[in-house]
């Protein structure tokens, strides 16, 4: 629904020359309306002009594009390259004006949602990495201009740094001299960096400001690095922390502690316990066998989101998890890579029972779930009445077992999304699990389509057409990986080359 004011705004920005002539006569409180109308129509020239002459003290991108009384549409999932570049160019024009024309104090560029299919007219997205690079490049260019202002504009941003944009980001976050923009990093994602560069950019970003920290994929950390990282500034506002695979492994040159003690892990847990706002922890693919209580026990704030997928948890870990304070507060839980129903049936059932009042998303990928486990799994899930999302890809379940499970899932009133595996029937007999990507993609498509149609019919007969079901073979869409795939590939090739060189050197030494 659109108000008459918004319809009028659309009419005005549809003709950029007319909008430019009329802008001086427009009331200041109408600028947000004109901005959303311009973004909707992808009028980049008008967007740049609006930012250049922005008369208000704040410009907050997320609220400006969100639903409003004048326009109910939500444009926050439009990471439109043309519009976002126009915003940045307009901001640069604004700060270069100087003098009394400039009222803008805060620019908040957060709130954009990266999605797989862009709805903007051009269809060209500018992802988080691209937005970071654009902001950093703009800051660097403005630092070279004569500074005409006593007060820089604060720019709040979600920063994504890799080896490809590290130099520009480091310069933008820690300028050598005064500049008209001061970047405040609210969230930081780091990939394809060595530990030294990660620690450097983290110091520049300011740990005391960060709400979210994601260190992922090709940042090779061990427990010593993690301890050093968390020692910087205490992270008093950090809400979410993601660490890469093997982040809790002992440093290569360290000697084993006596009596199985884990001084580094205990030190990391102590640092985490000081983060009183931390409610999300992602530590997938880190070996935590028998160590979960050491890591999570000291935390003062209950976790709402926990990812311990493929962490080689044992019975002691699962028992702790099912009985700890976090269980009753969990909203999102990932236990992928553990044979839960086979090895820990009672503990798994208790854990879901404890989490049931709050749990809304559960991931059980490659958990060795077979047909004989469906009854126990259905019983455990039956308590999760608030569950909205369930993902269990990579499990060797037959079409018949999936039909039984879907019948049980129909009883969960809030369930809206299910990601299920390609049925075992669709693969050659004797196929091994877990599967590699090549084996996973070689299945009988016709048989899959028939079983999938049957599963959707189960939902329809139960009146549950509100549940969306799918089988994303290689996992859900990740916009950050999609955007930096070329750089990630180059990084992996270089790492492979280095490993071969080291191997060759060792062979020569042996000769």
Instruction: Tell me how far the alpha carbon of residue 19 is from its chain's centroid.
Output: 38
- Give the pair of three-digit tokens for residue 274: 């000081």
DSSP secondary structure of 233-280: S--TT--EEE--TTTTSPPTTPPPPGGG--HHHHHHHHHHHT-TT--E
22, 122, 24: which is closest to 78 by C-alpha? 122
3-state secondary structure of 479: helix
434 preceded by cis ω (within 30°)?
Answer: yes
Q: Contact, 77 vs 122, CB < 8 A?
A: no
**The two structure tokens encoding residue 216:** 């992922």
Phi, psi of 464 (to 5 degrees): -115, 50
DSSP type of residue 327: G
Location of structure tokens 């108000």: 3
Strand partners, 184: 156
Within 10 A of 215 (CB to CB), how many other CB atoms are there?
23
Phi then psi for 334, rounded to 5 degrees? -120, 115
Structure letter (DSSP) for residue 40: H
Taking alpha carbons only, the member of 296, 403, 368, 388 closest to residue 348 is 368
In order of 85, 95, 98, 177, 179, the CA distances from 146 in angstroms are 23, 11, 11, 11, 9
* Rounded Cα–Cα distance for residues 396 and 402 (Å): 10
Residue whose C-alpha is closest to residue 63's, from 191, 156, 138: 156
Cβ burial of 1 (10 Å; 0-12, 13-18, 19+) is exposed
- CA dihedral 177→183→186→189, nearest 10 degrees, is -80
Residues 382 and 409 sit within 8 Å (Cβ to Cβ): no
Is-contact 209 188, C-beta < 8 A?
no
Distance CA 340, CA 318 (A): 9
Between the CA of residue 371 and those of 296, 368, 377, 453, 455, what are the distances in Å? 33, 10, 10, 20, 16
Per-residue pLDDT of the chain (511 residues; tens, 9 = 90+): 799 999 999 999 999 998 889 988 899 999 999 999 999 999 999 999 999 999 999 999 999 999 999 999 999 999 999 999 999 999 999 998 865 567 899 999 999 999 888 888 888 999 999 999 999 999 999 988 776 666 889 999 999 999 999 999 999 998 655 689 999 999 999 999 999 999 999 999 999 999 999 999 889 999 999 999 998 878 999 999 999 999 999 998 777 766 667 889 999 999 999 999 999 999 999 999 999 999 999 999 999 999 999 999 999 999 999 999 999 999 999 999 999 999 999 999 999 999 999 999 999 999 999 999 999 999 999 999 999 999 999 999 999 999 999 999 999 999 999 999 999 999 998 888 888 888 888 899 999 999 999 999 999 999 999 999 999 987 776 777 777 766 655 555 555 555 555 656 656 666 5
Tell me the C-alpha distance between 16 and 8, whole Å: 14
């Amino acid at each position: 629904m659109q108000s008459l004011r918004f319809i009028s705004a659309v009419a005005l920005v549809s003709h950029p020359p007319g909008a430019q002539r009329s802008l001086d006569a427009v009331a200041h409180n109408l600028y947000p309306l004109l901005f959303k109308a311009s973004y909707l129509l992808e009028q980049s020239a008008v967007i740049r002009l609006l930012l250049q002459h922005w008369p208000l003290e704040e410009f907050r991108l997320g609220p400006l594009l969100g639903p409003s009384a004048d326009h109910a549409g939500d444009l926050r999932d439009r990471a439109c390259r043309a519009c976002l570049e126009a915003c940045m160019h307009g901001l640069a024009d604004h700060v270069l004006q100087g003098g009394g024309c400039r009222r803008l104090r805060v620019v908040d560029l957060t709130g954009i949602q990266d999605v797989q299919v862009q709805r903007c007219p051009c269809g060209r997205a500018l992802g988080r990495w691209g937005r970071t690079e654009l902001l950093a490049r703009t800051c660097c260019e403005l630092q070279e201009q004569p500074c005409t202002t006593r007060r820089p504009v604060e720019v709040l941003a979600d920063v994504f740094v890799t080896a490809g944009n590290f130099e520009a980001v480091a310069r933008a976050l820690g300028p050598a001299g005064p500049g008209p923009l001061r970047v405040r990093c609210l969230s930081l994602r780091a990939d394809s960096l060595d530990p030294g560069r990660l620690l450097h950019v983290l110091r520049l970003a300011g740990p005391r400001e960060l709400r979210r920290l994601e260190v992922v994929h090709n940042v090779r950390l061990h427990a010593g690095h993690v301890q050093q990282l968390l020692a910087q500034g205490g992270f008093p506002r950090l809400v979410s922390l993601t660490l890469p695979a093997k982040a809790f492994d002992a440093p290569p040159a360290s000697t084993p502690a006596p009596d199985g003690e884990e001084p580094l892990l205990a030190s990391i847990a102590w640092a985490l316990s000081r983060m009183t706002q931390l409610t999300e922890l992602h530590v997938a693919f880190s070996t935590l066998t028998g160590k979960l209580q050491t890591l999570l026990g000291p935390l003062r704030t209950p976790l709402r989101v926990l990812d311990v997928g493929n962490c080689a948890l044992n019975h002691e870990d699962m028992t702790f998890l099912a009985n700890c304070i976090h269980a009753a507060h969990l909203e999102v839980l990932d236990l992928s890579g553990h044979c839960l129903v086979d090895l820990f049936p009672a503990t798994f059932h208790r854990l879901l029972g404890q989490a049931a009042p709050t749990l809304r998303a559960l991931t059980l990928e490659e958990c060795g779930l077979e047909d004989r486990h469906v009854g126990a799994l259905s019983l455990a899930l039956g308590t999760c009445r608030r569950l909205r999302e369930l993902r269990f890809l990579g499990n060797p379940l037959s079409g018949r077992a999936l039909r039984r499970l879907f019948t049980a899932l129909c009883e969960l009133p809030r369930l809206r999304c299910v990601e299920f595996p390609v049925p075992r029937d669709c693969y050659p007999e004797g196929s091994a699990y877990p599967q590699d990507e090549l084996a996973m993609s070689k299945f009988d498509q016709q048989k899959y389509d028939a079983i999938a149609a049957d599963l959707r019919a189960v939902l329809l007969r139960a009146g549950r057409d509100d549940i969306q079901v799918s089988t994303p073979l290689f996992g859900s869409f990740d916009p950050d990986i999609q955007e930096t795939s070329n750089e990630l590939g180059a990084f992996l090739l270089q790492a492979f080359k280095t490993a071969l060189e080291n191997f060759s050197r060792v062979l020569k030494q042996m000769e």
